[in-house]
Chain A
Amino acid sequence: MALFELMQISKSFRQRGAAPFQALADVSVHIDAGECVAIVGESGSGKSTLARVALRLLDPDCGDVLLDGESILGMSEEKWNRLRLTVQPVFQDPSSAFNPRRTVQSSLEQAIGQCVPKEPAPRERALELLSSVELRPAEDFLQRYPHQLSGGQRQRLGIARALATRPRLIVADEPLSGADVSIRAQVLNLLLDLRERQNIAILMITHDMLVARALADRVVVMHRGRVVEQGRTRDIMDAPQDPYTQRLLNAVLSVDADI
């Protein structure tokens, strides 16, 4: 049984003075425990909308979302509020991902405080989380405010917060965009650690084929709200079937002359 499954999700948005915009049409994606699945697409592909549906920040018009085989859309609110701790987000823009008025400690403890059963030593857990994302010395970071951290540090803090509730799935929406290349490698390594040591599944939304190739077990290619191709990373990269996937791969400029 898949850990998490999005089944035949469709979602459209009303537009004033125009026909409704179909963001997602019949999209199905599943993730097994410990797997990393990359959703790759350009702007307008619907990949960010899909991430929000997965986090239940948005409800689809039709289709279902299953966690451990159980539909989360039909669930009672209190049950979902407990279960949703197992699916945590990492956002793209580190500058808006944290309340500017909360210290690092406060932001982390806000997440730690939601754990069930209650965490007996929240401060210690916060320190542990900071160390696990290489924000050391951890004590120094507790009292800092988000604007006092560099972009890379904030991104790592975002991962630390996502880990606070011991999730089994992390939904990362373009976590590496806007990050400098040298920061990307650090964040990627962190995500690799999570998979290997803690067997956390990752649903990674990205527009960057190289990132998908680097991290994902499986790749789902989206275009204009639909899934055009999905499969094992190796297969998609070496032998893409769909013409859009081929165009996407051809357009990638890597630092070496050929990928």
Chain B
Amino acid sequence: MPKVSRALFRNPATVLSLSFILILLCLAVFGPMVYGVDPFGLSMEVAEGPSRLHLLGTDDLGRDVLAGMIEGIKISLFVGFSAALAATFLGIVVGAVAGYVGGWFDLIVMRIAEFFQVMPSFILAVLIVAMIGPGLTRIVLVIAVLSWPQTARFARAEVLRISQFDFVNAARCLGISSWRILFTDVLPNAVGPALAVSTLIMAQAILLEASLSFLGLSSPDIISWGRMLSAGQNYLETAWWLSVFPGLAILLTVLAFNLLGDALADIMNPRHAN
């Protein structure tokens, strides 16, 4: 781990991304206390630009944009983390077992994974959410189901590679059961690239949630950046702050996670090790 952090901090883009994410977290936790405005609260200042009272302006119902965005951080990060966590866990388990066991299980799993990768995930997500209805947990599940093939691929490839190493053969010659070898010797060495991909999945999840919210497929009682963008559509010329700020937030957050994911992927790449 220390080697990874050192390598991470060397890259200026990564340091920026990490700092940005840290700022987001701080805002999510301390924001409501510091900027005491109620995000759901209607006020008299309707559709007003950034002012001293409302730092980033208000929307057509008088709700503060900045407060709404701080609220939106929670949604985005929640969706991002949980979807990535679920996808990574599922993907690593399925991919690792497929790579280790091989045979028909591997065949079936890989065909399923290919199906999900070939399908345009956005359209699939829209269809599914339209069918099962909105809701934060449902969206997280949908994204996880659409994303696990990515981690599964990496996990499987690494497990296949590591299984050829002689230390695995040595363990087999000691009569240690295959499953024990998988969990104690192979997996710890194989999860690197898969974990790196999980940050990219976070970025994808945030974007996907924003897109679904934009299309109105999220529950109306939560404030998310996508929904704010959607609401701001009609006011592009008159109240630009309703679109620009949430849009920027989405852009920067997704960018930050993508950069972080790229850097991690480079570091975790086994060929990079030398």
Q: Which residues of A contact B (CB under 8 A)?
A: 55, 57, 80-82, 84-85, 87-89, 91-93, 96-102, 107, 110-111, 114, 161, 165
Report the 9 A-B pairs with minimum CB-CB distance, sorted nearest first. Answer: A81-B175, A91-B166, A96-B165, A97-B166, A114-B174, A99-B167, A96-B166, A99-B185, A89-B173
- Asked if B188 is an interface residue, CB under 8 A from chain A, the answer is yes
Residue of A nearest to B164 (CB): A96
Given contacts A82-B175, A110-B176, contact A89 B189 (CB under 8 A): no
Q: Are B176 and A91 in contact (CB under 8 A)?
A: no
Q: Are A114 and B166 in contact (CB under 8 A)?
A: no
Q: Which residues of B contact A (CB under 8 A)?
A: 165-167, 169-176, 185, 188-189
Docked pose: A98 CA to B171 CA in angstroms: 10
For A111, the chain B residues whose CB sits under 8 A away are 170, 174
- What are 11 A-B interface contacts by the 8 Å CB criterion? A57-B169, A82-B175, A84-B174, A84-B175, A89-B170, A89-B173, A93-B166, A96-B167, A97-B165, A101-B188, A111-B174
For B166, the chain A residues whose CB sits under 8 A away are 89, 91-93, 96-97
Given contacts A55-B173, A57-B173, A114-B175, contact A97 B167 (CB under 8 A): yes
Q: Are B174 and A91 in contact (CB under 8 A)?
A: no
Docked pose: A57 CA to B174 CA in angstroms: 11
For A101, the chain B residues whose CB sits under 8 A away are 188-189
Q: Are A110 and B171 in contact (CB under 8 A)?
A: yes
Q: Are A57 and B172 in contact (CB under 8 A)?
A: yes
Q: Are B188 and A110 in contact (CB under 8 A)?
A: no
For B169, the chain A residues whose CB sits under 8 A away are 55, 57, 89, 91
Docked pose: A238 CA to B156 CA in angstroms: 52
For A97, the chain B residues whose CB sits under 8 A away are 165-167, 170
Count chain A CB atoms within 10 A of each CB in B169, B176, B188 and give the residue with the most. B169
For A88, the chain B residues whose CB sits under 8 A away are 173-174
Docked pose: A110 CA to B167 CA in angstroms: 11
For B172, the chain A residues whose CB sits under 8 A away are 57
Q: Are B189 and A99 in contact (CB under 8 A)?
A: yes
For A84, the chain B residues whose CB sits under 8 A away are 173-175
Known A96-B166, A99-B185; 12 more pairs at CB < 8 Å: A82-B175, A84-B174, A84-B175, A85-B175, A87-B173, A89-B166, A89-B170, A97-B167, A97-B170, A110-B174, A111-B170, A111-B174
* B145 shortest CB reach to chain A, Å: 31
For A80, the chain B residues whose CB sits under 8 A away are 175
Residue of B nearest to A52 (CB): B169
Residue of B nearest to A96 (CB): B165
* A102 shortest CB reach to chain B, Å: 8
For B175, the chain A residues whose CB sits under 8 A away are 80-82, 84-85, 114
Q: Are B170 and A161 in contact (CB under 8 A)?
A: yes
For B189, the chain A residues whose CB sits under 8 A away are 99-101
Docked pose: A220 CA to B140 CA in angstroms: 63
* A176 shortest CB reach to chain B, Å: 15
Docked pose: A110 CA to B181 CA in angstroms: 11
For B173, the chain A residues whose CB sits under 8 A away are 55, 57, 84, 87-89
Residue of B nearest to A173 (CB): B166
For B165, the chain A residues whose CB sits under 8 A away are 96-97
* B240 shortest CB reach to chain A, Å: 53
Docked pose: A82 CA to B170 CA in angstroms: 15
Docked pose: A100 CA to B175 CA in angstroms: 20
Residue of A nearest to B172 (CB): A57
For A57, the chain B residues whose CB sits under 8 A away are 169, 172-173
Docked pose: A93 CA to B168 CA in angstroms: 13
Docked pose: A82 CA to B185 CA in angstroms: 21
Given contacts A99-B189, A100-B189, A101-B189, contact A85 B174 (CB under 8 A): yes
Docked pose: A7 CA to B273 CA in angstroms: 44
Residue of B nearest to A89 (CB): B173
Residue of B nearest to A92 (CB): B166
Q: Are B167 and A165 in contact (CB under 8 A)?
A: no
Docked pose: A144 CA to B175 CA in angstroms: 25
For A107, the chain B residues whose CB sits under 8 A away are 167
Q: Are B167 and A98 in contact (CB under 8 A)?
A: yes
Docked pose: A164 CA to B34 CA in angstroms: 63
Docked pose: A165 CA to B185 CA in angstroms: 19
Docked pose: A80 CA to B174 CA in angstroms: 10
Docked pose: A115 CA to B236 CA in angstroms: 74
For A93, the chain B residues whose CB sits under 8 A away are 166
For B170, the chain A residues whose CB sits under 8 A away are 89, 91, 97, 111, 161
* A169 shortest CB reach to chain B, Å: 11
Docked pose: A110 CA to B171 CA in angstroms: 8
* A166 shortest CB reach to chain B, Å: 12
